[in-house]
Amino acid sequence: MSFISDFRAKWQEYRRPGYYEEFDYAWTMTVDLDRCTGCGACVTACQAENNTPIVGEDAYAKGRQMQWIRIERYWEGEFPDIKLRFIPMLCQQCDAAPCETVCPVSATYHNQDGLNAQVYNRCIGTRSCAVYCPYEVRYFNYNNHHWDSPLDQQLNPDVSVREKGVMEKCTFCIQRIRQAKDHAKDDNRRRVRDGEVQPACVQTCSSEALVFGNRLDPESQVSASMNDPRAYHVLEELNTDPSVVYLKKVDANVG
Amino acid sequence: MLMSAEPREISFAEVNDDVVRSLVVTGRGYYVTLATSVAVMFACFLFPWSFQLYYGLGASGINHPGVWGTYLASFIFWIGLSHSGTLLSCVLHITNSSWRKAMYRSAEAMTLFSLLVAATMVMVHVGRPWFIHWTVPYPNQMEMWPNFRSPLMFDVMAVTTYLTGSTIFIYMGTIPDFAAVRDRTAGWRHNMYVLLSLGWRGTDTEWHRLHWAYTFLAVLIVPLAVSVHSIVSWDFALSIVPALHQTIFAPYFVVGAIYSGTAGIVTVMFMLRKYMGFGHYITKLHFDNLGKLLLVLSLLWTYINVVELFTGWYSGASTEYEALGYRLFGFYAPLYWEMILFCAVAPLILISKRFRTSFVPMLVLSILINIGMYTERFLIVATSLPRQYLPDAWGHYIPSMVEISIMVGSLAMFVTLFLLFVKIFPSVSIYEVKETFPEPEPDDSPGSAAVSDNGVT
Amino acid sequence: MATNVVGLFHAPSSALAAAGELKDAGFTTPELISPIPIEGVEKVLGKKKSVIKRFTFFGAICGGLSGFALAAGTSVLFPHPTGGRPIIAIPPYLIITYELTILFGILATVLGFFISSRFPAIRERVYVPEAAVDKFVVTVVCEDSEHSKRADAILRNAGAEEVREMTEDG
């Protein structure tokens, strides 16, 4: 009765939450808020790497910014005791992502690397994923963009340019991950080493506040920083299982 | 019990005459209205929409994080408006009520056209409408299927089913009327009605079959209609946005839909009375009953709002608090209080029977209710998305001229479709109206049936 | 040659009584053509069986199975993990099942109605245009002129305003 046991095996596979038994790599990023200076270099690097459009002042004022990673600012207190807290916010690549379930045409899904992948070609622009995302890290293309010369020569050929009507968001520079995996395969089928692939923001961060790696590898840098007692997830109570770990800023004035 | 507004005798033959006349005799006023409506549709809907197709959704006022705007609010409004026609007609059919008989045909037509307009609003709403067919499950060379776990896919299935069901329901109910007008018309009309009536004769077997088929359809459509608007509400409620993730959304939307739709029926009935000469079929009794229904629905709607406010406030949860505070006292506060005024306070006047049986005040109230209900849908979208969990990502959403124009244009589209309907479909059901008259007695003189104060169903 | 004797009545009660008399007199079951459904037909002319409910039931069952098959089947054909949910997620698929149950139920009911009433009517049958306005009509098939005369008499006795003889074409 191998048909029955086959059927049962398949049924268990299809009923498993998240479908994957284990991820191939589980890409994780830690953001050390103690080291972050809020300089915004990560934002610029992301824009350069991923062909994110420069929307211009008017569009920005209308609230149409395109920043796959943004520096959130929170002011505390009144002058002259003002404190500014900032936190880089990017797609958390949630393992239980609310945005993935709602896309009617399956334009966003969870891939075998634990990344939340966005398929630009399939997106019809219902924008429900942006509504469902509690971190509000999904950005919509409100019109076709163009880059004034000579900025059009700066575009990254490894990344597509998205047309109007399509959602986009941080991909952990999946093009770099893909390239690193290709190199690893060419190199006698080894695995991608820790530190071999870094998204643009991680590569650019001057204070090394951003660390990227595979949390399934116990020896990676990111595994070590995840176990820091300062570690937390943003909006943890929503049970989205994010892959971005933030390390709390140590405030010398408390206590 | 049927009480005419004017105590005239109406014979069976006069009913046929009136309805055929409404179909065939067309005055200049009709053509002028139709032309205006089509012109507004082109200028306010199709033209701005083509601009938006060319330029992108930047033509609207949506931004980050207010990514849903008036298009979605209009979609929900039109789906809501569609709820009263068919749903009410089915419920009243199952409960054997007689006052539905004169007006249900136009109410069902209202359902059908609201659904069609809602479908076009979806196409305006999405970023790449030329790919909207990907939401339909069909085998393709990409070997891709839509994501059935998505609330938007539930929407697609539900609205398609409801559209199919409503079309079939209104058609089935009209088959005997097509037969009746087939006999009295000529030319292209006659040919069209010959085809549409399928050779209906009115034999006892046919009536029996029609009765059973119609009843089964009504029994199937009632749970369907309830599920459709619940599913539409789940587009919002299945998110984790603080103001939207509430279990009360499904009943809230269903009640709101029936409320808004009933107000729409009052508007349409007024127009039919005034412009199509159906004054003795659509009477004070109908407005009285519709008014009572509106009052009950208004109280239900107010109750649900109060529950939402109370539970949100009592919980003390910061996100709930913030969402409620923003809705009541924030940027859109004037709209919120206008909605409460029009939908919760103003309809209390329906307690007075004198108000319920006066035609023009009912018309004004029904329009106010629908304005309030549209505001409600707009507020659900505009006050929830710009105020989510991360305060840095808060924003503002203000509709642009393109959006407002498209809403006006969608109204013109609905009016156009309805105007075409009244000239093709008998807009008052001939045989059902006759069923409300007293049965002709053998000793009456032929050719007339007196309508008395104790008319029989 | 078979002809149809057609009697026009003003009141439905007299038409019904006439139909009952014709049936008792041994004619083949007469047909009643009317602008509105007449109450009490089943008592006089016998109970009618409705086969539509079987169509509806069968259609609804088919719809339920197809709905779940569509949702679960396409998910298995194109496994697409989203949101930490399983590939075959039961609650959303139950909604799809529900909608398709109702859709197929509706379509099956319509089909059942058309089939059991023999719509669309291709063959021309006995019809009196007044029956769509305000007259209640009884028609009965008679094999020869003797039968027709008897039917004629019965109808006039019962209060028919007018009696005609018509033939059905092909």
Indicate whether B1 pLDDT > 60.
no
Residue A14, min C-alpha distance to chain C (Å)? 5
Q: Which residues of C touch B223 (CB under 8 A)?
A: 102
User: Do the Cβ atoms of A122 and B134 come within 8 Å?
Assistant: yes
Give the pLDDT score at B452.
40
pLDDT single digits (tens) B394-420? 988 999 999 999 999 999 999 999 999
Q: Which residues contact C153 (CB under 8 A, 6 or more apart)?
A: none
User: Do the Cβ atoms of C83 and A110 come within 8 Å?
Assistant: yes
Q: Which residues of B touch A162 (CB under 8 A)?
A: none
Assign A82 a pLDDT band (cuts: 50, 70, 90). confident
Q: Which residues of A touch C68 (CB under 8 A)?
A: none
Interval B149-153 mean pLDDT: 95
For testing contact with chain C, the best of B166, B200, B212 (most C CBs within 10 A)? B212
Indicate whether C141 pLDDT > 90.
no
Q: Which helix (H) or strand (E) holds A70?
A: strand A70-76
The CATH number of domain A18-247, selected from 3.40.50.880, 3.30.70.20, 1.10.1660.10, 3.30.360.10: 3.30.70.20
Please give the class, per CATH, of domain C3-46+124-166. alpha beta
Closest in A64, A102, A234 to B151, CB measured: A102
Indicate whether B447 pLDDT > 70.
no
B56 phi-psi bin (left φ>0, alpha ψ -120 to 50, beta other): left
Phi first, then psi: what are they for B37, rounded to 5°? -65, -40
The tokens of C117 are what?
A: 């009433």
Q: Which residue has the higher pLDDT, C124 or B263?
A: B263
User: Do the Cβ atoms of B65 and A136 come within 8 Å?
Assistant: yes
Name the closest residue on chain B to residue A109, using Cα atoms. B147
Distance, CA of C123 to CA of C129 (rounded, Å): 17
> Per this entry, what is the length of chain A?
255
User: Do the Cβ atoms of A128 and B235 come within 8 Å?
Assistant: yes
The tokens of B246 are what?
A: 């509430």
pLDDT single digits (tens) B174-231? 999 999 998 888 888 899 999 998 888 888 889 999 999 999 999 999 999 999 999 9
Indicate whether B444 pLDDT > 60.
no
Indicate whether B8 pLDDT > 60.
no
Half-sphere exposure for B322 (CA within 13 Å, toward CB): 14
CATH number for the domain running over B26-135+147-432: 1.20.1630.10
Q: Any bridge partners for residue A118, and if so which? A: A108
Query: Secondary structure of B198-218 in the HEC alphabet?
Result: CCCCCEHHHHHHHHHHHHHHH
Give the residue from B296, B353, B291, B285 showing the smallest Cα distance to B102.
B285
Torsion on CA atoms B141, B143, B144, B148, rounded to nearest 10? 130
Indicate whether B3 pLDDT > 50.
no
Interval C70-87 mean pLDDT: 91
Q: How are beta strands A244-247 and A210-214 bridged, if at all?
A: unpaired
Chains that touch B (3 or more CB pairs under 8 A): A, C
Interval C130-139 mean pLDDT: 84
Q: Does residue B65 sit at the A interface (CB-CB below 8 Å)?
A: yes
Distance, CA of A128 to CA of A121 (rounded, Å): 17
**Domain map of chain A by residue range?**
18-247
Mean pLDDT for chain C overall: 87
State the Cα angle at A78 between A73 and A81, rounded to 5°.
Answer: 90
Q: Which residues contact A206 (CB under 8 A, 6 or more apart)?
A: A37, A39, A41
Using CB atoms and an 8 Å cut-off, which of residues 40-59 of chain C contact chain B? 41-42, 45, 48, 50, 52-53, 56
Q: Which helix (H) or strand (E) holds A73?
A: strand A70-76
The tokens of B389 are what?
A: 């969990």
**Domain map of chain B by residue range?**
26-135+147-432
Assign A216 a pLDDT band (cuts: 50, 70, 90). very high
Count Cβ–Cβ pairs < 8 Å, chain A vs chain B: 144
pLDDT single digits (tens) B267-300? 999 988 888 878 888 888 889 999 999 999 999 9
pLDDT single digits (tens) A156-207? 999 999 999 999 999 999 999 999 999 999 988 788 998 899 999 999 999 9
Closest in C48, C56, C106 to B164, CB measured: C106
Indicate whether C162 pLDDT > 90.
no
User: Do the Cβ atoms of A238 and B240 come within 8 Å?
Assistant: yes
pLDDT single digits (tens) B92-114? 888 888 777 878 888 899 999 99
Chains that touch A (3 or more CB pairs under 8 A): B, C
Other CB atoms within a 10 A radius of the CB of residue A82 amount to 9
Distance, CA of B275 to CA of B269 (rounded, Å): 10
Chains that touch C (3 or more CB pairs under 8 A): A, B
Q: Does residue C94 sit at the B interface (CB-CB below 8 Å)?
A: no
Q: Does residue C86 sit at the A interface (CB-CB below 8 Å)?
A: yes
Give the pLDDT score at C44.
81
Closest in A64, A124, A235 to B132, CB measured: A124
Task: Please give the share of chain B, as a percent, with pLDDT higher than 90.
Answer: 60
Q: Is A2 helix (H, G, I), strand (E, B) or coil?
A: helix
Strands (E), B317-438: none
ipTM of the complex: 0.91
**Domain map of chain C by residue range?**
3-46+124-166, 52-117
In this structure, are residues C161 and C10 in contact, taking their beta carbons and an 8 Å threshold?
yes
Residue B220, min C-alpha distance to chain A (Å)? 26
In this structure, are residues A107 and A176 in contact, taking their beta carbons and an 8 Å threshold?
no
Query: Secondary structure of C96-115 in the HEC alphabet?
Result: HHHHHHHHHHHHHHHHHHHH
Q: Which residues of B touch C140 (CB under 8 A)?
A: none
Closest in B12, B204, B431 to C41, CB measured: B204
In eight-state DSSP terms, residue B346 is G
Query: Secondary structure of chain C in the HEC alphabet?
Result: CCEEEEEEECCHHHHHHHHHHHHHCCCCCCEEECCCCCCCHHHHHCCCCCCHHHHHHHHHHHHHHHHHHHHHHHHHHCCCCCCCCCCCCHHHHHHHHHHHHHHHHHHHHHHHHHHHHCCCCCCCCCCCHHHHCCCEEEEEEECCHHHHHHHHHHHHHHCCCEEEEECCCC
Which residue shows structure tokens 């009263």? B84
Residue B407, min C-alpha distance to chain A (Å)? 18
User: Do the Cβ atoms of A105 and B134 come within 8 Å?
Assistant: yes
Question: How is A15-31 classified by DSSP, letter by letter?
Answer: HSTTS-SS-S--EEEEE
